[in-house]
Amino acid sequence: MSIMSILNDLPQIPATQAKQAFGEMLDRLRTSNAVAITSHGRVKALVSTPEMWSERESQFARDTDLLERKLARAQQSRVELDRLQRHAHLAVDLLSSSADQQALIVSEAKARVARWRGHALCSDDYIDRWNQLLSLPVHELAKEMIGDCGGWGNALRQNTPFSMKKKTTDVAQA
């Protein structure tokens, strides 16, 4: 809704009448929080109560808070999608690698999880779940890396034992 359409919907009083009957205009403010003053059929000024501005300010603050929350959720969704895409690429790379390369990738991930446990670097929940996943055959591990993992998919991808270096093009886009 445009500002002009809002102004045109308000009670209106011609400028000459507003000058001559200022008290009448103030009386109109009791029933409406604002009165538009017109000249030659166009809204030229707005007289309003402090309550109207207070209500508008409160509504603006609520709208701003809502938009900020929506933006934060959208940004978080983007981050989670990025992590999912990286794990999907890793899963493809893992599945298309030789058996020796697969074993090396998984053993490096297991070593990282062992270091987490040894130095208490993260929650046992992550450590136990990654240990369980890393003990699976590679084709099942690849599937689980991009799955829900019993509701832990996003959290596990956030705290991953796999080395996920950004490509040069990814860094330029970030």
Domains (range + CATH), the chain? 3-48 (3.40.1620.10), 80-162 (no CATH)
Displacement of CA 17 from its chain's centroid (Å): 51
Location of structure tokens 């009957």 = 21
Q: How far apart are CA 107 and CA 110, in angstroms?
A: 5
**In what helix (H) or strand (E) does residue 37 lie, and over which residues does it extend?**
strand 34-39
Q: Which of 27, 25, 47 is nearest to 36 (CA)?
A: 47
Dump pLDDT digits (tens) for 157-172: 999 999 765 544 444 4
Tell if the pTM clears 0.75, that is, is over it: no
Q: How far apart are CA 116 and CA 131, in angstroms?
A: 11
Q: How far apart are CA 138 and CA 46, in angstroms?
A: 70
Residue 84 scores a pLDDT above 60 = yes
Identify the pLDDT of residue 35: 84
Cα torsion for 151, 122, 163, 86, to the nearest 10°?
A: 20
Asked if 161 and 110 count as a contact pair (C-beta separation under 8 A), the reply is yes
Q: How far apart are CA 106 and CA 63, in angstroms?
A: 48
Asked if 28 and 37 count as a contact pair (C-beta separation under 8 A), the reply is no
Two tokens, residue 117: 């446990």
Asked if 95 and 138 count as a contact pair (C-beta separation under 8 A), the reply is yes
Residue 174 scores a pLDDT above 60 = no
Residues facing 42 on adjacent strands: 39
Q: How far apart are CA 35 and CA 10, in angstroms?
A: 6
Dump pLDDT digits (tens) for 5-48: 777 777 788 888 888 888 888 887 877 778 888 899 888 888 88
Phi, psi of 38 (to 5 degrees): -110, 155
